[in-house]
A and B are shown apart, each in its own frame.
Chain A
Amino acid sequence: MLLINRINSFYDDVQVLRDLSLDVHEGEVLCLLGRNGAGKTTTLKSIMGIVPPRSGEIMLDDTALHLLPPHEIAGQRVGYVPQGRRLFPQLTVAENLKIGDYARHTADSQRERVLSLFPVLKARLKQKAGTLSGGEQQMLATGRALSVDPVLLLMDEPTEGLQPSMIQLIRDVIIGLKKEGVTTIVVEQRVDAVLQIADRVAFVENGTVPMVVNASELADSDALINRYVGVSHQPLAHGDPPS
């Protein structure tokens, strides 16, 4: 499905990703786990072409994403939920969703599908995105990415700063998309969240992926978590308060 082969990405002269390789299977949920600054967000940005790799390959099935200009990557049905949501705050909810539709260059809109997943947005269509609550903004950011009708969905800390009910809603959406066959890569700081949704977990450390494990293996290994996430990682308990 998605094959990342030894990519090297930089911010100006600072190298962030070093020969990072990753193989993501069709229809799976893969979580990227690692300390702050390890390169998780940059991995997603490199896939999206926002931080294009200077060397290496990113193949989505037979399409070489690393050779495409950034604005053509979304057209390959790659949806992106950036860290901090990055909505267009002065545009309305409807316009934000329309931007999602734009990437596919087709007349059919995914708006009804998005609104059925997040009905609360229906009453907010004419409201500016910047005036929504944090939870509503996350719904819109997710909905905007779904407007691309993605086969590959990239989500960067989608539960960051959300209340428990909202976290559960986002998790349900990810699980629902998995049932529809959508491949998802999620950057997540919360180990308990990872365990609930992930099929596999890729640890990111110093700009590379030293290890990929099944999510079930993670549950039994505090040593792995301590090594790659740090001793201060979120607890494994269920129903805990939001970060």
Chain B
Amino acid sequence: MDFWPYLLLASLEGAVMAAVLALTALGLSLVFGVMRVVNVAHGEFFMLGAVLAWWFSSVSTQWFGISPALAFTVAFIMSPLVTAAVALVADRLVLKRLNYQPEATIVATIGILYIIQQLALTFYGPDARPVVAPFSYRVQLPWFGYSGYKLFVIAAAVFLLGLVWFLLSRTRAGLLMRATQQDYETAQAFGIPVSRVYAGVFAFGAMLAAMAAVLIVPIQQAHYLMGLDPLLLSFIVVIIGGLGSLRGTLIAALLIGMSDGIISVFFSPTLAKILATTLVAMVLVFRPQGLFGDRPQ
């Protein structure tokens, strides 16, 4: 294949990666931005989303005999909802009781990480399992054919990111989240139930990770250890973009996702990760607040 078609293929792969990463990292960024909680268990919510997608999809197909497309739709609706419910329980049982103290919640979310991971191992098992894509249409370009589902993943992620933007900037719930993010004490003094906002944001962040996982699981298989990579990449994205900056998160996800996709195709996935972590190190040294984060006072 010539260079330019090869670059186009690599860019498309990068765009899929960037789209899924943007959704996942946005959840992490929201949780940190509003709650000041570094959620180390975020990758496990991603994994839970994928595992539950397999379960819902399998049950729908085998027990009710519905088509793969409908089974995927069921998984896409139910898996994020169940993951959000698990996050809500974790918030009420653990984070709220720790009064959302930043240091204590880091340790607590490490605990949540292992609990979810081991529960997945116990009930789901060690095997990687595929979810059937809702459709298998291939888009025929002049140089190569490309998976229609992967293009759907990009479009769906962009649509979901647009919905998140709308929620945050145009709805009352978004206004309460933004006010709480900026000054929780004053927010409380004006009637905002901060504890409920925190619970909602934690569940919403987990839901975004689960949505990303459901989208990607027909491409990558569901596995109980699959949460580590998205967690690492999400941290890289959030640090580069600036902790708590949603705009920075989206731009950094595009940067990391595209470079990861392109470098993986032309060279190797390992080199892509090396470059991403090097970039993080440079950002931490030269611009610790991230590319779009506020400079510490």
Q: Give the dominant DSSP class at B's interface.
A: helix
- B178–A70 CB distance below 8 A: no
Nearest CB of A to B179, in Å = 5
Give A128 to B176 CA distance when docked, in angstroms: 16
A203 at the interface (CB under 8 A from B): no
Chain B residues near A69 (CB, 8 Å)? 193
- B182–A72 CB distance below 8 A: no
Give A99 to B177 CA distance when docked, in angstroms: 11
Instruction: From A70, A90, A98, A104, give the contact of B189 (CB < 8 A).
Output: A70
B2 at the interface (CB under 8 A from A): no
Instruction: Encode B226-264 as 1/0 by CB contact (under 8 A) with A.
Output: 000000000000000000000000000000000000000
Give A50 to B186 CA distance when docked, in angstroms: 9
Instruction: From B175, B182, B185, B192, give the contact of A50 (CB < 8 A).
Output: B185
- A48–B189 CB distance below 8 A: yes
Give A98 to B192 CA distance when docked, in angstroms: 12
Give A110 to B179 CA distance when docked, in angstroms: 19
Question: Which A85-110 residues have C-beta < 8 A from chain B?
Answer: 86, 88-91, 95, 98-100, 102-105
- A75–B178 CB distance below 8 A: no
Instruction: From A71, A86, A102, A105, give the contact of B183 (CB < 8 A).
Output: A86
Give A103 to B186 CA distance when docked, in angstroms: 12
Q: Contact residue range for chain B?
A: 10 to 19
- A144–B182 CB distance below 8 A: no
Chain B residues near A70 (CB, 8 Å)? 188-189
B190 at the interface (CB under 8 A from A): yes
- B178–A80 CB distance below 8 A: no
Instruction: From B172, B176, B182, give the contact of A90 (CB < 8 A).
Output: B182
- B191–A90 CB distance below 8 A: no
- A102–B192 CB distance below 8 A: yes
Q: Which of B176, B178, B191 has the most CB of A within 10 A?
A: B191
Chain A residues near B189 (CB, 8 Å)? 48-50, 70, 73-74, 80, 82
- B188–A100 CB distance below 8 A: no
- A75–B182 CB distance below 8 A: no
Chain B residues near A99 (CB, 8 Å)? 175, 179, 187, 190, 192
B194 at the interface (CB under 8 A from A): yes
A148 at the interface (CB under 8 A from B): yes
- A74–B190 CB distance below 8 A: yes
A90-B178, A102-B176 as given contacts; A74 in contact with B183, CB under 8 Å: no
Instruction: From A50, A71, A82, give the contact of B193 (CB < 8 A).
Output: A71
- A71–B194 CB distance below 8 A: yes
Question: Which A53-85 residues have C-beta < 8 A from chain B?
Answer: 69-75, 80, 82
Q: Contact residue range for chain A?
A: 20 to 34
Chain A residues near B194 (CB, 8 Å)? 71
- A71–B191 CB distance below 8 A: yes
- B186–A95 CB distance below 8 A: no
Give A3 to B182 CA distance when docked, in angstroms: 32
Nearest CB of B to A16, in Å = 16
Chain B residues near A144 (CB, 8 Å)? 190
Give A102 to B191 CA distance when docked, in angstroms: 7
Chain A residues near B182 (CB, 8 Å)? 88-91
Nearest CB of B to A76, in Å = 10
Q: Which of A50, A71, A102 has the most CB of B within 10 A?
A: A71
Chain A residues near B186 (CB, 8 Å)? 82, 86, 88
- B178–A91 CB distance below 8 A: yes
Give A102 to B187 CA distance when docked, in angstroms: 10
Nearest CB of B to A25, in Å = 24
Chain A residues near B193 (CB, 8 Å)? 69, 71
Instruction: Encode B151-172 as 1/0 by CB contact (under 8 A) with A.
Output: 0000000000000000000001
Chain A residues near B179 (CB, 8 Å)? 88, 91, 95, 99
**Which residue of the partner chain B has the closest CB to A75?**
B191
Give A48 to B189 CA distance when docked, in angstroms: 6
Nearest CB of A to B123, in Å = 38
- A98–B191 CB distance below 8 A: no
A71-B193, A71-B194 as given contacts; A88 in contact with B188, CB under 8 Å: no
**Which residue of the partner chain A has the closest CB to B169?**
A95
Give A90 to B176 CA distance when docked, in angstroms: 13
- A71–B175 CB distance below 8 A: no
A-B contact pairs, 27 of them (CB 8 A): A50-B189, A69-B193, A70-B189, A71-B188, A71-B193, A71-B194, A72-B191, A73-B189, A75-B191, A82-B186, A82-B189, A86-B183, A86-B185, A88-B182, A88-B183, A88-B186, A88-B187, A89-B182, A91-B175, A91-B182, A99-B175, A99-B187, A102-B176, A102-B191, A102-B192, A104-B191, A148-B191
In order of increasing CB-CB distance, the 6 nearest A-B pairs are: A103-B191, A74-B191, A70-B188, A86-B186, A88-B182, A71-B193
